[in-house]
């Protein structure tokens, strides 16, 4: 099939909406650098159909949302482009959540899934993906408790809502092979791990840890009268911290030691940490995964539903990178690359010195797609959340824009260092209805030189590991940063048919509900899976490298600006 972009007029930005104002073709980041527009949708053309196969940028799902005790069926007709009746000069995407029951298919192959309400979820999965940059939405949230509007990015190696594609991948950002990695007892292993070789035809790099990462630009909740409402930005991250480092609920740490949480977090004048949810408690049943939930936001707001706010996130991967959330031009909160690295906390006793350490994760580096939706359920606002019945609930998105530095342009779902195309094609059954057209048919992929160089380095490392005998595979050979025991496991993914992949999973959404103040903070769009493809790693060898003297104590810093 001829690519749709082959005969198109030459544009610097294939994914950009022609209606984006010239003045918005660039933006300036917190680093004072210029970023160029690489994707935009202004939602100015009424009559657009977002059903599968109808739109080059978005796919509106037709699926029951069975995660988190969801109560909505996602339908394409619940997403339309139209004029905002309260702001007649604005044309916007309108996601309508209605008191309209529907019965249809579920994300795990179920049939006759009944949901009492209808809503919409739009994705760019396997169409538009990007790695790093600035993502911004201008939006007006729906009025009423029980609605969960969200604007987010999700790794293309999984697919939001389709739980079988995400188990063991969501939201891993980990490229280590570490015997001391401490996971909750019921946590599924990383499906594609740095301990694993890969068949040459898998489409994956051998000995590279992969995941379906998640970054939430906006997760909101507006009260029934619009007062005292909140919005947060968040990062979901696996593997989660060991139990020792997790703070008690409703507390926030200020020093290193037990419950010290993460280093390198900072909050702006209006920004507040969300200390009502740090992820599933240790020992929870987490069939899809037990990640950490890092989040911060703004509370006690009265205009989230009555006017448009600008929600912006800067996502800069790499050892000098950061993630920052900026709302209406104000820095709310963020974390730098040091937050993801390994650190240790040591204590001296009569018996000697003992150290606890965190796993070494990364700022997400996976190609990510965009997601917009309104979920619904009593878990967001308490048992009486739907009593007000603000039907219909309208979520207005004025525009979506993505910016990247010219030299770092990384647009496409199959970058050379983090490929997804072949893996997805070989595992189609995990991802639901196949989307058309794919991004490969719509616009040319653009990847920076750094991505190709990184891919070559990953291949070279794998080639060396394959040449040496198993018991010679040291941490230095892997190039990993782990300082304690390193598990050198060689495993291959087994087809689902060779492994018992069916589990009965009790819903854990009740564990994910925490109410704070009037609005009620609640957490997790976590995909609850009842099945997944597993692999069986074989333990081959281990090696101990002593900690250097100056590495025995970690430094915990929480930079928090004074708030009025």
Distance CA 475, CA 547 (A): 13
Task: Specify whether the CB–CB gap between 269 and 298 falls below 8 A.
Answer: no
Convert the pLDDT of each residue in 381-418 to its tens digit: 666 667 666 889 999 999 999 999 999 999 999 999 99
pLDDT tens, residue by residue, 338-372: 999 888 888 888 888 888 889 999 999 999 999 99
Cis peptide before 399 (omega within 30 of 0): no
- Report how far apart, in Å, the C-alpha atoms of 435 and of each of 8, 53, 122 are: 22, 7, 12
pLDDT in tens, 513-549: 222 222 222 222 222 222 222 222 222 222 222 223 2
CA 271 to chain centre: 21
Listed in sequence order, the residues at least 6 apart from 496 whose beta carbon sits closer than 8 Å to its beta carbon are 531, 533
Q: Which residues contact 549 (CB under 8 A, 6 or more apart)?
A: none
Cα 465 to chain centroid distance, Å, stands at: 31
Both tokens of 498, joined, read 């060779």
Q: How confident is the model at residue 66 (pLDDT cuts 50, 70, 90)?
A: confident
Lookup: tokens for 278: 């740090």
Whether 55 shows a pLDDT value over 70: the answer reads: yes
Q: Give strand pairing partners of 333.
A: 267, 325
Rounded-to-integer distance, Cα 265 and Cα 498, Å = 44
> Where is mean pLDDT largest: 4-13, 59-68, 83-92?
83-92
pTM: 0.83
Predicted local distance difference test score (pLDDT) of residue 208: 97
In terms of DSSP bridges, do strands 272-273 and 214-221 run parallel, antiparallel, or are they unpaired?
unpaired
* Interval 95-142: pLDDT, tens: 999 999 999 999 999 999 999 999 999 999 999 999 999 999 999 999
- For 302-347, the DSSP string reads S-TTTS-EEEEEEEE-STT-EEEEEETTEEEEEEEGGGGS--EEEE
Could you tell me what percent of the chain has a pLDDT over 70?
79
The Cα-based distances of 450 to 82, 300, 317, 418 in angstroms read 41, 43, 12, 12
What three-state secondary structure class fits 511? helix
CA atoms within 13 A of residue 380's CA, in its CB half-sphere: 28
Radius of gyration of the chain (CA): 23
């Amino acid at each position: 099939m001829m690519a749709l972009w082959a005969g198109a007029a030459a544009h610097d930005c294939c994914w950009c909406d022609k209606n984006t104002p010239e003045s918005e073709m660039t933006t300036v980041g917190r680093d004072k650098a210029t970023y160029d527009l690489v994707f935009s949708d202004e939602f100015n053309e009424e009559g657009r159909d977002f059903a599968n196969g109808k739109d080059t940028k978005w796919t509106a799902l037709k699926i029951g949302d069975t995660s988190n005790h969801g109560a909505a069926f996602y339908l394409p007709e619940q997403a339309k482009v139209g004029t905002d009746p309260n702001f007649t000069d604005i044309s916007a995407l309108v996601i309508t959540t209605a008191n309209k029951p529907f019965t249809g298919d579920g994300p795990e192959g179920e049939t006759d899934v009944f949901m009492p309400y209808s809503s919409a979820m739009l994705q760019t999965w396997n169409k538009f993906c990007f790695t790093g940059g600035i993502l911004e939405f201008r939006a007006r949230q729906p009025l009423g408790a029980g609605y969960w509007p969200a604007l987010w990015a999700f790794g293309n190696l999984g697919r939001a809502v389709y739980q079988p594609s995400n188990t063991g991948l969501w939201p891993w950002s980990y490229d280590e092979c570490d015997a001391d990695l401490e996971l909750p007892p019921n946590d599924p292993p990383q499906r594609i791990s740095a301990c694993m070789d890969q068949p040459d035809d898998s489409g994956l790099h051998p000995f590279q840890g992969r995941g379906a990462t998640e970054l939430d630009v906006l997760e909101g909740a507006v009260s029934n009268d619009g007062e005292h409402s909140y919005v947060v930005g968040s990062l979901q991250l696996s593997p989660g911290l060991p139990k020792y480092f997790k703070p008690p609920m409703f507390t926030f740490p200020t020093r290193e030691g037990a419950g010290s949480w993460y280093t390198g977090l900072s909050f702006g004048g209006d920004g507040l940490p969300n200390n009502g949810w740090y992820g599933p408690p240790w020992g929870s049943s987490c069939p899809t995964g037990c990640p950490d939930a890092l989040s911060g936001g703004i509370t006690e707001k009265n205009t989230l539903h009555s006017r448009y706010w600008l929600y912006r996130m800067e996502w800069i991967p790499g050892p000098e990178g950061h993630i920052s959330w900026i709302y209406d031009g104000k820095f709310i909160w963020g974390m730098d690359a040091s937050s993801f690295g390994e650190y240790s906390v040591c204590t001296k006793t009569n018996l000697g010195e003992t150290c606890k350490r965190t796993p070494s994760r990364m700022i997400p580096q996976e190609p990510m797609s965009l997601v917009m939706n309104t979920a619904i359920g009593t878990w967001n606002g308490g048992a009486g959340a739907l009593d007000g019945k603000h039907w219909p609930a309208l979520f207005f998105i004025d525009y979506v824009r993505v910016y990247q530095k010219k030299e770092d342009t990384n647009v496409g779902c199959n970058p050379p260092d983090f490929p997804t195309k072949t893996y997805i094609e070989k595992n189609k059954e995990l991802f639901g209805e196949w989307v058309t057209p794919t991004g490969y048919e719509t616009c040319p992929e653009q990847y920076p030189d750094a991505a190709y160089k990184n891919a070559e380095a990953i291949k070279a490392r794998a080639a060396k590991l394959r040449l040496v005998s198993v018991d010679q595979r040291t941490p230095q050979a892997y190039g990993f940063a782990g300082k304690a025991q390193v598990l050198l496991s060689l495993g291959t993914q087994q087809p689902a048919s060779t492994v018992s992949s069916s589990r009965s999973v009790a819903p854990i959404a009740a564990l994910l509900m925490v109410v704070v103040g009037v609005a009620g903070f609640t957490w997790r769009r976590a995909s609850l899976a009842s099945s997944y493809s597993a692999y069986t790693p074989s333990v081959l060898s281990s090696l101990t490298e002593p900690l250097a003297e100056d590495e025995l104590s970690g430094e915990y810093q929480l930079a928090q600006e004074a708030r009025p």
